[in-house]
């Protein structure tokens, strides 16, 4: 019983992390049809900024976290300006190749300018507690992760429903040109999408760093792959789909870790992706695929 | 009633030029859709742009809003806006109810209107509630997603979304397209009301009979060129042109 509760908490925490990552991809994809594979590098930027803070002996966790978030947001918005603006209205393949290019360039910059080896980051003590709840004990990391994700999802929902820019972002997913025709500046919409995406990467970065304890140039690959898979399962371009896909991926992953016999331990990912493939056989466009409905009725 | 038009521009004078287009050529990639047309719209006027399918009417609208690539001059209230970005042209007071209506189907009626007013000056903004008095059908459906509206309701919403920004000029691209005759009547009576309020309108239509009734001046476009122009009465007197306009030969 305790074991089950523990594993459910694990699944929820993993799922929360994947949901954060997937949302970061989905929010950009929904408005510009770009799969931003450089999203993983925003996480690495956050990680390196934590290292930099330690080097400056600024160990206060709030400063470390704040700075990591800021670094990821600035990096993301800068990327939009420098790399993605020129290919904004190009076809999706061009955007995809640009994103891969950016990702590779950033990884190589980390290799050259920082170090090819993993560097330990400041540990955030309040993410290392163990909180006993009845018979089970959960880590404060898992608790914070789950709570933060819920807060982020609620905040994002409020933003998308209550603010003009949020409405514009939802509308832009359907018809960007028409959004411009209401006078809302396209540049602001794109910048906001990348700002939110960077913020989500920064938040995910905190938890990923707390779990791994170190940052290396290729850190971003695994998270962005998981985010991509979560988006595909949930339905690419759908924000609720990204959240659902993320949690589903977390559950399946933990279930496989728990259920697979020791001898198949190395095959966990294969089983996880196998199950995902089955979901896609059932729903080829993902579970909550964005319906291609247009404003006009013909 | 008319002085509201001049609220931040020069004082209102009758027959002041609102929009004029000079030697406009419009391109879609390598294709030239409009071959050097010129026309003008005075403040408070309703000007119709008529013509068959593919004549270049929508291309002309797109050039005025800046969506399509174009050469030539677009003058709005005396200043050249041909190099101005789309969003800035809208903010200056050009609003469009586009071809195919293009309401945001995934947003509610109210959210569509909020978006329509988002970019306009906050102190000239009409409250949305006030707006629902003019459009009671939309008021009833305010929390419904726009994609679930009927075609006629979507057209109302598209016009309302353009109007709520308090435009200086309203561009209407085939507002009657694909609607039942009764609804077409409602849409045209709405346009008539707008005109009576002194709103400057550029009306693109294939329903020539209705458009002629409302318009002060008419340009007839064919193959990307202006084939005829004149007041509604003068064009209405020409039988051959009338036949061409209404598609009855
Ligand atoms: N996006 C586009 N790409 C290529 N060609 C286009 C595009 N849009 C319009 N055209 C071409 O430009 C010409 C004029 O089209 P336009 O849409 O302006 O006509 P229209 O007068 O609005 O016609 P309709 O009454 O059918 O709406 C047509 O020959 C059309 O094929
Ligand atoms: Mg047209």
User: Does residue B9 carry a pLDDT above 90?
Assistant: no
Candidate from A80-84, A149-153, B54-58, B205-209 with smallest mean pLDDT? B205-209
Rounded CA-CA distance A174/A290 in Å is 10
3-state secondary structure of A13: helix
CB-based contact (8 Å) between A289 and chain B?
no
B58 CA from centroid of ligand 2 (Å):
4
Is A34's pLDDT higher than 60?
A: yes
Taking alpha carbons only, the member of B201, A290, B13 closest to residue B2 is B13
Tokens standing for A216?
Answer: 């290396």
**pLDDT tops 70 at residue A298:** no
Residue A131 DSSP label: E
- Note the pLDDT of residue B6: 40
In a domain, A42, yes or no: yes
Q: pLDDT (tens digit, 9 = 90+) per residue, B111-170? A: 999 999 888 766 545 678 778 888 888 999 999 999 999 999 999 999 999 999 889 999
- Residue B87 to residue A186, Cβ atoms within 8 A: yes
Question: And the tokens for A249?
Answer: 């991926």
Give the pLDDT confidence score for residue B242 in this predicted structure: 61
Lowest mean pLDDT among B16-20, B176-180, B243-247: B243-247
pLDDT band at B244; cut points 50, 70, 90: low
Over range A227-247, report the average pLDDT.
93
Q: Where are the alpha helices (DSSP H) in chain A?
A: 2-32, 39-55, 61-79, 92-109, 140-162, 164-180, 186-212, 221-234, 239-259, 268-282
* Ligand 1 in reach of B167 Cβ (< 6 A): no
| Residue pair A47/A121 in contact by the 8 Å Cβ criterion | yes
Structure tokens, A74: 């600035």
- Percentage of chain B beyond pLDDT 70 is 86
Q: Quick check: is A272 in a domain?
A: no
SS3 for A173-219, per residue? HHHHHHHHCCCCCHHHHHHHHHHHHHHHHHHHHHHHHHHHCEECCCC
Give the residue, out of B26, B33, B208, B220, with the most ligand 1 atoms within 8 A of its beta carbon, to mutate for a pocket test: B33
φ, ψ at B119 (rounded to 5°): -90, -5
Question: Is A294 inside any structural domain?
Answer: no
Identify whether the C-beta of residue B18 lies closer than 8 Å to the C-beta of residue B200: yes
Ligand 1 contact, B210 CB (< 6 A): no
Cβ under 8 Å to B: A residues 143-172: 161, 164, 167-168, 170-171
Q: Quick one: tokens of B96?
A: 């469009």
What are the backbone dihedrals phi and psi of residue B43, each rounded to the nearest 5 degrees, phi first?
Answer: -60, 135
Distance of CA A19 to the CA centre of its chain: 7
Q: Is residue A243 one of the residues assigned to a domain?
A: no
Higher pLDDT, B94 or B7: B94
Beta carbons within 10 angstroms of residue B247's beta carbon: 10
Which of A169, A175, A176, A183 is the mutation pick for testing B, counting most B CBs within 10 A? Answer: A183
What is the maximal distance between C-alpha atoms in chain A?
A: 64
A174 CA to centre of ligand 2 in angstroms? 20
Q: Tell me what pLDDT residue A113 has.
A: 92
Q: How many CB atoms lie within 10 A of CB B165?
A: 26
Instruction: Please tell me what DSSP assigns to residue A85.
Output: S
Taking an 8 Å cut-off on Cβ atoms, the answer to whether A167 and B67 are in contact is no
> What's the predicted TM-score (pTM) here?
0.88
The answer to whether residue A296 scores a pLDDT higher than 60 is no
A184:B118 CB<8 A: yes
- Return the number of other C-beta atoms located less than 10 Å from residue A271's C-beta: 17
Residue A206 lies in a domain: yes
For A57-87, what is each residue's pLDDT tens digit? Answer: 777 888 889 999 999 999 999 999 999 999 9
CB contacts of B91 in chain A (<8 Å) are 183
Distance B56 CA to ligand 2 centre (A): 7
| pLDDT for the residue numbered A57 | 74
Domain B3-93+168-246, architecture per CATH: 3-Layer(aba) Sandwich (3.40)
The 3-state DSSP class for residue A35 equals coil
Question: If 0-12 CB within 10 Å is exposed, 13-18 middle and 19+ buried, where does residue B116 land?
Answer: buried
- Mean pLDDT value of segment A278-282: 88
* Other CB atoms within 10 A of residue A140 CB: 16
In a domain, A288, yes or no: no
The overall average pLDDT reported for chain A is: 89
What residues make up the domain containing A123? 2-218
- The dihedrals phi and psi of B232, each to the nearest 5 degrees, come to -55, -40
- Atom 30 (ligand 1) nearest CA: B54
- Bigger pLDDT: A53 vs A151: A151
Say what the pLDDT of residue B170 is.
Answer: 96
Q: Whose CA is nearest to atom 11 of ligand 1?
A: B33
User: What ipTM, to 2 d.p.?
Assistant: 0.88
Q: HSE (CB half, 13 Å, CA atoms) of B12? A: 16
Which pLDDT belongs to residue B123?
A: 54
Mean pLDDT throughout A36-65?
89
What would the pLDDT profile of A100-143 be if each residue is shown by its tens digit?
999 999 999 999 998 889 998 877 777 778 888 777 778 888 88
* Other Cβ atoms within 10 Å of B22 Cβ, number: 15
Looking at chain B, the domain(s) classified CATH 3.40.50.300 span 3-93+168-246
What lies within 8 Å, CB to CB, of A41 at 6+ separation is A75, A102, A103, A106, A107, A110, A220
3-state secondary structure labels for all residues of chain B: CCHHHHCCCCCCCCCCEEEEEEEEEEEECCEEEEEEEEEEEECCCEEEEECCCCCCHHHHHHHHHCCCEEEEEEEECCEECCCCCHHHHHHHCEEEECCCCCCCCCCEHHHHHHHHHHCCCHHHCCCHHHHHHHCHHHHHCCCCEHHHCCHHHHHHHHHHHHHCCCCCEEEEECCCCCCCHHHHHHHHHHHHHHHHCCCEEEEEECCHHHHHHHCCEEEEEECCEEEEEECHHHHHHCHHHHHHHHCCC
Total domains, chain A:
1
A31 in B contact zone (CB under 8 Å): no
From chain B, pick out residues whose CB is under 8 angstroms from the CB of A240. none
If you count them, how many residues does chain B have?
249
Cβ of B62 below 6 Å from ligand 1: no
Distance CA B15, CA B32 (A): 32
Inspect the interface and report whether the beta carbons of B115 and A173 lie closer than 8 Å: no
């Amino acid at each position: 019983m305790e074991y089950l509760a523990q594993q459910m908490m694990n699944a929820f925490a993993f799922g929360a992390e994947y949901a954060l990552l997937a949302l970061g991809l989905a929010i950009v994809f929904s408005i510009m049809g770009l799969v931003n594979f450089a999203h993983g590098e925003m996480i690495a930027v956050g990680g390196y900024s934590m290292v930099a803070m330690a080097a400056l002996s600024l160990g206060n966790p709030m400063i470390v976290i704040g700075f990591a978030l800021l670094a990821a947001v600035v990096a993301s918005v800068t990327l939009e300006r420098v790399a993605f603006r020129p290919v904004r209205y190009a076809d999706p393949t061009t955007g995809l190749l640009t994103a891969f290019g950016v990702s590779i360039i950033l990884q190589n910059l980390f290799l050259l300018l920082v170090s090819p080896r993993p560097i330990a980051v400041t540990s955030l003590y309040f993410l290392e507690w163990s909180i006993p709840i009845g018979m089970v004990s959960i880590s404060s990391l898992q608790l914070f992760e789950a709570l933060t994700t819920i807060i982020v999802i609620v905040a994002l929902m409020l933003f998308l429903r209550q603010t003009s820019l949020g409405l514009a972002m939802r509308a832009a997913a359907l018809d960007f040109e028409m959004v411009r025709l209401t006078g809302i500046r396209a540049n602001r919409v794109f910048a906001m999408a990348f700002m939110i995406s960077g913020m989500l990467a920064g938040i995910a970065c905190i938890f990923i760093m707390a779990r791994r304890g170190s940052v290396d140039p290729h850190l971003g690959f695994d998270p962005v792959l998981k985010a991509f898979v979560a988006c595909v399962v949930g339905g690419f371009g759908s924000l609720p789909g990204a959240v659902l896909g993320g949690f589903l991926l977390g559950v399946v992953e933990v279930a496989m870790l728990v259920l697979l016999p020791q001898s198949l331990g190395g095959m966990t990912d294969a089983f996880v992706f196998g199950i995902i493939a089955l979901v896609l056989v059932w729903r080829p466009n993902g579970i909550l695929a964005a319906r291609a409905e247009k404003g006009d009725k013909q | 009633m008319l002085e509201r038009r001049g609220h931040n521009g020069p004082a209102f004078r009758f027959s002041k030029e609102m929009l004029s287009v000079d030697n406009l050529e419009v391109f879609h990639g390598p294709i030239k859709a409009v071959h050097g047309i010129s026309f003008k719209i005075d403040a408070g006027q309703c000007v119709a742009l008529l013509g068959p399918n593919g004549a270049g009417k929508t291309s002309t609208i797109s050039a005025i809003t800046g969506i399509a690539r174009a050469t030539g001059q677009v003058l709005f209230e005396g200043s050249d806006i041909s190099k101005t970005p789309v969003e800035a042209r809208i903010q200056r007071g050009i609003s469009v109810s586009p071809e195919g209506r293009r309401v945001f189907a995934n947003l509610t009626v109210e959210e569509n209107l909020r978006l329509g007013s988002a970019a306009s000056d906050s102190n000239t903004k009409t409250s949305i509630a006030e707006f629902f008095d003019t459009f009671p059908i939309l008021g009833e459906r305010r929390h419904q997603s726009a994609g679930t509206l009927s075609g006629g309701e979507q057209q109302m919403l598209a016009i309302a979304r353009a109007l709520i920004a308090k435009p200086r000029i309203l561009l209407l691209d085939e507002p009657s397209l694909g609607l039942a005759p009764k609804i077409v009547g409602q849409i045209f009576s709405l346009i008539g009301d707008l005109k009576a309020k002194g709103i400057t309108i550029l009306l693109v239509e294939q329903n020539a009979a209705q458009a002629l009734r409302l318009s002060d001046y008419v340009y007839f476009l064919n193959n990307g060129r202006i084939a005829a122009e004149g007041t509604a009465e003068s064009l209405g007197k020409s039988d051959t042109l009338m036949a061409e306009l209404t598609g009855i030969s």
